[in-house]
Structure 1
Amino acid sequence: MLIDFTVSNFRSLRDRQNLSMYRSARTLKVARAEEDPWLRPDVSPVAAIYGANAAGKSSVLDALGFVSRAVEDSYARWDADGGVPRQPFKLDRQHRTMPTEFDIEFLAADGNEYRYGFAVDDERVLSEYLHVYRTRRRSILFERERDSYKFGDSFRGPASLLRETTRPNALFLSASAAARLEATEPAHDWLTERLSFYHATGFPAEHNRIKRLLARDADFADQITDFMRQLDLGVQSVSVVKQEMDPEERERIRQIIDARDDELLTFDDVIGTFETELQLSHQGDGERFELPFNVESDGTQALISFASVAIRALAEGTVCVVDEIDSSLHPLMVAELIAVFADARVNRKQAQLIITTHDVSLLRPGTKLESDAVWVVEKNAVGASDLIPIRDFGLPRKDENLERAYLTGRYGGLPMSSLVNSMLEARG
């Protein structure tokens, strides 16, 4: 569960920006009063980030993604002599060379809260730390300043060996995972496995995963079929059908897989994606009709992808980070997804949904998007993005129309109000 995230000097996020999932006192009181209690009623299950095109909404999500990828890849995959592949703010000379900093607080699968952070420049890791909160008191697992390390009493493992083998441009948390260090495993697993990133326009990438799950998981098949039925699209069932492949093409794929010599990439898995296809059964006039998946609309194909994402997240209690979610889904469908994550009766493991969107209809009274969960990104005069919770403008009334307030410019984050006037002024 994500609790808090802070970043500075990353892409358009020049200054320190904070995305906090903590609820306000008012919404916390409501959450605690619900019949089905949340695991952490003080933490919101949803966050929606608004803003004009190119305002920097995606930079916030990309910053989260950078942390996850760096923890996963820096030790094993980053070039030893290649420095750090960061993206600092580049619209002033000073910040091009200043450190990029990240800090993230989360609840891991072991039930403990962790706080992890690091600072990097173009060449190396400047600092890094991992703290655990087994009680209200902080326990240091490790702290690092360049090549100097401090290990807490609860750290167990070959500290001196890991210190010597961790490259200057690799994260110690990444190196400790390669050594299967038990003390840091919960934090590493959450950062690399419990944060899932999606771009809404990339929904076809989920289809192969759906095919694999349908083939081996009967519960998943029942859940995704029920999900699609509830959306009132006329879909009665979701299944996988076999497709014959040309023997020569099949053999060519086998040779490619064998040449890669990758234990994680098996011929059976790869060929299964080519020789199977999804199929939806639709209710017609008195009977059912099976249609080829490629004739389904983009909207339907996107819906089944996000149904799969939501089902897995709810089952595992993970964090779904979706950029431009309204580019593939109808506003009513996005609202339904938010409602699912916002309902403690359904979302028993408190999975989270963090999205960027332009869909202001989600701000109308009656939707399940809490005012605490709404953020606006706006660029200032020097091209730097500011991430602002709308409660900074004063906590809205329970019945306040946030859509109207946003569209009238109360919270900022709007594109230019009149392109026509701007063009006329430019012409003189």
Structure 2
Amino acid sequence: MLVQYAVSNYKSIKDEIIINFARIDDERDDNWTIPVEEPRCRLYNVIGLMGPNASGKSNIIDSFYFAIRFIKNTISRKEKSKIKVEPFLLDDQTQKQPSSFEFIYIYQGIKYVYGFSVNSVRVEEEYLLAYYSAKPTTVFERQNGAEYHFRGNDVSRQRELSGKTNANRLYLPVAAEWGYDKLSCAYAWFENVFDQYENVRISDVLETIVVDEKKKSILLESLQKADFNITDIYVKKRKLEKQQIDVIREMIAKIVPEVEVDNIPESNPEIYVTHRNKGENEYSINLNDDSSGTKSIVFDIAELLYLSQGGLILEDELGRNYHTRLTEYYLKLIGRLAPDHHRVQMLFASHDTKILNLLNRDQIYLVDKNEEGATFLKLLDDYIIREKDNIELGYLKGRYGAIPYMRE
């Protein structure tokens, strides 16, 4: 489970910003809480980012994607390939400094703190702390690119593994790949929680759901409760020609040239949905030909079901294709589709102001830019808000900032 995420010097983000999923106030609505038994704590399953266009909400989401992919693609990264990281460019100093990322998370009863800093050429800094007890233990530190500091009685083994870590690679996934048990567990969280971001097509996700009768039933029931008259969803396999596979391989190589392309699927699953009209007649169409709203809700609910062992969903522009009531319905589904989905978390960005009255105040970060053009956050809970206040109305009136300034 994700406890906290921090990022600095990335795109419009100059100074460190922190997204905290930890819940402190026991008096807030408990519907959004995930209880963690070991170490004992309570975490939010939903955190929202609200603010005007071009404030940096998307860059916060994008920083997550960058960090996750950099961690997971380290093993396949070519030795001297450039790191496509973008620092804050509106300052002469930050242009020359590395971008930094940090995750605090709980996996298999242990809390970890893992962070790293990178520039376009190499990993400048990397570290891992583990809470095997109440006090943190520094497992390793990496400074100035190749200066490692290890703890424990197997330092020689760790030094051997650090020698296998190229300048543009992270030590944690390299050591895990070589079977170093002490780091395998810490790395497994990224491998398991974020597997939907690595070579997983949405059509494959839907195919996984459709062939599972229980999950398919939940998907259809959820769609019908949301007023979508969809009675069935099924898959048709379409075999890909060699020429199509070659084109896909070339496209991947252009998009991520630093990563070696291995297996390309030889068939493409096509998803069909069956609609029932008012005359009780049914007809099936390819989901790709359906409305954007239908595609979005089917994909979003399927993703929740796909993450049956838990995971983190990153959603930019939540509600873009939804009626505001559908956005509310979808948010309430998080972690409540079935007993084994209670460990799903989501970070989203949205312009739907109705959400302000739905979530707790410490679940919403207001995002804006300062005079320097740098993104900053402020928790809605930092403002003095009375119980009877209409938060949405107060926000639209500019009481909490983070709204566009419109000149007449």
TM bucket (normalised to shorter chain) is 0.7 to 0.9
Question: Match for residue 348 of structure 2?
Answer: 355
3-state DSSP of counterpart to 1:183: helix
Question: Match for residue 337 of structure 1?
Answer: 330
Answer whether contact 2:335 2:344 (CA < 8 A) is retained: no
3-state DSSP of counterpart to 1:228: helix
Pick from 183, 204, 210 the counterpart of residue 206 of structure 2: 210
Answer whether contact 2:249 2:264 (CA < 8 A) is retained: no
Deviation at 1:182, TM superposition (A): 2.1
Question: Match for residue 81 of structure 1?
Answer: 80
Question: Match for residue 105 of structure 2?
Answer: 106
Deviation at 1:13, TM superposition (A): 0.7
Q: Is residue 2:289 matched to residue 1:290? A: no
Question: Match for residue 375 of structure 2?
Answer: 385
- 2:394 maps to a residue whose letter is A
- 1:234 maps to a residue whose letter is N
- 2:131 maps to a residue whose letter is Y
Structure-2 change in CA distance of 1:156 and 1:27 (3 Å) = farther
Question: Match for residue 13 of structure 2?
Answer: 13
Answer whether contact 2:356 2:391 (CA < 8 A) is retained: yes
Pick from 300, 308, 333 the counterpart of residue 302 of structure 2: 308
3-state DSSP of counterpart to 2:125: strand
- Count of equivalent residues: 393
Structure-2 change in CA distance of 1:182 and 1:92 (3 Å) = same
Structure-2 change in CA distance of 1:186 and 1:397 (3 Å) = farther
Shifted more, 45-54 versus 167-176: the winner is 167-176
Structure showing the higher strand proportion among its residues = 2
Question: Match for residue 364 of structure 2?
Answer: 374
Show CA shifts across 1:164-190 (max 9, x none).
111122111131133132222232222
Show CA shifts across 1:295-325 (max 9, x none).
4211111111011012123x22111111111
Shifted more, 144-153 versus 299-308: the winner is 144-153
Q: Is residue 2:230 matched to residue 1:235? A: yes
Structure-2 change in CA distance of 1:272 and 1:205 (3 Å) = closer
**2: CA distance, partners of 1:236 / 1:111:** 41
Answer whether contact 2:309 2:343 (CA < 8 A) is retained: no
Q: How does 1:21-420 map to 2 (within 5 A)?
A: 21-27=21-27, 31=30, 38-39=35-36, 42-77=42-77, 79-108=78-107, 110-146=108-144, 147-153=146-152, 158-195=157-194, 206-214=202-210, 216-241=211-236, 250=241, 252-253=243-244, 264-267=263-266, 271-273=267-269, 276-313=270-307, 315-341=308-334, 349-364=342-357, 367=358, 369-394=359-384, 396-416=385-405, 418-419=406-407
**1: CA distance, partners of 2:273 / 2:26:** 46
Answer whether contact 2:126 2:141 (CA < 8 A) is retained: yes
- 1:80 maps to a residue whose letter is E
**2: CA distance, partners of 1:166 / 1:89:** 27
Structure-2 change in CA distance of 1:406 and 1:156 (3 Å) = farther
**1: CA distance, partners of 2:383 / 2:223:** 39
Percent of aligned pairs with the same amino acid:
23
Structure 2 regions of 5+ residues with no counterpart? Answer: 254-259
Answer whether contact 1:37 1:344 (CA < 8 A) is retained: no
Show CA shifts across 1:243-263 (max 9, x none).
6x7xxx746557879999976
3-state DSSP of counterpart to 2:139: strand
Structure-2 change in CA distance of 1:27 and 1:119 (3 Å) = farther
Answer whether contact 1:238 1:280 (CA < 8 A) is retained: yes
3-state DSSP of counterpart to 1:107: strand
Structure 1 regions of 5+ residues with no counterpart? Answer: 199-203, 422-428
Query: Which entry has the higher C-alpha Rg, 1 or 2?
Result: 1
3-state DSSP of counterpart to 2:44: coil
**1: CA distance, partners of 2:156 / 2:282:** 60
3-state DSSP of counterpart to 1:303: helix
Structure showing the higher helix proportion among its residues = 1
Answer whether contact 2:128 2:139 (CA < 8 A) is retained: yes
Show CA shifts across 1:180-218 (max 9, x none).
3222223222224413778xxxxx95234313542x423
**2: CA distance, partners of 1:322 / 1:178:** 30
Show CA shifts across 1:33-63 (max 9, x none).
x8x9733653111101011111100111112
Answer whether contact 1:69 1:192 (CA < 8 A) is retained: no
3-state DSSP of counterpart to 2:186: helix
Show CA shifts across 1:346-399 (max 9, x none).
5753311110000001113xx2x11110001110111011011111223x3444
Structure-2 change in CA distance of 1:223 and 1:264 (3 Å) = farther
Q: Alignment RMSD, CA only?
A: 3.1
Answer whether contact 1:325 1:356 (CA < 8 A) is retained: yes
3-state DSSP of counterpart to 2:314: strand
Normalised to the residue count of structure 1, the TM-score between the two structures is 0.82
Structure-2 change in CA distance of 1:76 and 1:241 (3 Å) = closer
